[in-house]
Amino acid sequence: MVDQLVEGLRAPGWPRASHFGHPSRLVGLAPFCRRRVHDLSTPVPVRRLELLGSGEDEADETCSEYIGLIAERGLERAVADTFAKAIRAGDLGPWDELVMTRMRGDCEMTSRTQGVLGDEALLEPLQAAPCAVLPESWDGYLAALPSSRRYLVRQSLRAWEKWAKGPPVLRHATNSDELDRGFEALVCLHAQRWGETDAPGAFDSRAFHTFHKRTTRELLENDALWFCWLEVDSEPIGVLYNIVWNNEVRFYQSGRKVGLPKNIRPGLVIHACAIQEAIGRGYSHYDFLGGETRYKMQLANHTRQLVQLSLRRRSLRGTIAGLAVKMVGVGRTVHARLRDLRAGQRDR
């Protein structure tokens, strides 16, 4: 069983209601769960504190990224300090190791957290997350790409238009009925894509499927969902599941039809169309998230680093686990990197 340990953190010195007659203000969150772990990364069973949205079984994992402590802008240091005190005081209950994975390396909260945990905390690089910093125009975006990649984008769009007998046009889910249709197409095309490798797609997991069926509806209701597809003769050929937040588009999952002519690249074309539309909407970034797969790197003009921050507690169990990890050589680092690689290859 997972113990939910969501702790509300308040800045040190913030007045209590009993002092000033009004409620305290929440300024930070440390959303953790505690699991008993015994796998390649931990040959000896340990109690691990992990960020919510991470640490699931591989078949069910949501591959959450840019996770970590949440703090009100300007109070990052206070929240990090309070978190460190809570960890040292045992306020989050018994634990042997703390693992905060898939954090954004250039985020102030990441560096603050590392700083307050001290030299014993290990910071490890994981994958890069390719993204496109969006200029004011599509031509400006293309001009910033290397000539070979610029040619690839243009050639792919021309080939699509010739094959489909018309330019690619994104169709968006704007209501629940359209979302149901698009979601069904995503699941089907994603399974087709992974069927080529004799591997199950992400939606093969009932937990994963159910979670995203519900999540997409909530995102749609909150104007945070960008769910779109390309059609040819009324048939979906490629589908994108994107999330829009903080003026950025973040690509989460996709599906594409297989068995098309070799010069027809539905994955690249649908992303190119989405980037063009994102520029028109005035968004600042189109983020492919983790995974340095070829099509992401072909369309990106920038990368962000994902990192993992971990801390092993000084205890008999922790010491034995630490020695065991050294005995198996690469231990948790390789395990985490393999998981990240597989997550990126699940094609989104």
- 3-state SS class at 273: helix
Kindly report the pTM of this predicted structure.
Answer: 0.83
Reading the block at residue 208, the tokens are 């994963």
Domain ranges of the chain: 3-128+306-345, 135-283
Q: Which residues are within 8 A (CB) of 97 and not within 5 positions of it... i.e. 6 or more apart?
A: 42, 46, 47, 48, 49, 310, 311, 312, 313, 318, 321
> What are the pLDDT tens digits along the chain (348 aa)?
233 333 444 444 443 332 223 357 889 999 999 999 887 666 688 999 999 999 988 889 999 999 999 999 999 999 999 999 999 898 988 999 999 999 999 999 999 999 999 999 999 999 999 999 999 999 999 999 999 999 999 999 999 999 999 999 999 999 999 999 999 999 999 999 887 777 778 999 999 999 999 999 999 999 999 999 999 999 999 999 999 999 999 999 999 999 999 999 999 999 999 999 999 999 999 999 999 999 999 999 999 999 999 999 875 455 555 555 455 444 545 555 555 555 554 455
Amino acid at 318: G
What does the DSSP assignment read for 62-112? ----S-S-EE-TT-HHHHHHHHHHHHHHTTT---SEEEEEEEETT-HHHHH
What is d(CA 274, CA 68) in angstroms, rounded to the nearest whole number?
Answer: 28
- Candidates 3.40.630.30, 3.40.50.10540, 1.10.10.10, 3.30.160.40; CATH matching 135-283: 3.40.630.30
What is d(CA 46, CA 254) in angstroms, rounded to the nearest whole number?
Answer: 36
pLDDT for 337 equals 57
pLDDT for 110 equals 96
pLDDT for 311 equals 95
Same fold, 3-128+306-345 and 135-283: yes
The Cβ of residue 207 has, within 10 Å, a number of other Cβ atoms equal to 13
- 3-state SS class at 248: strand
Q: What is the dihedral of CA 201, 67, 331, 347, to 10 degrees?
A: 20
- Candidates 3.40.630.30, 3.40.50.1100, 3.40.50.300, 3.40.1710.10; CATH matching 3-128+306-345: 3.40.630.30
Cβ distance 172 to 244 under 8 Å?
no
pLDDT for 196 equals 74
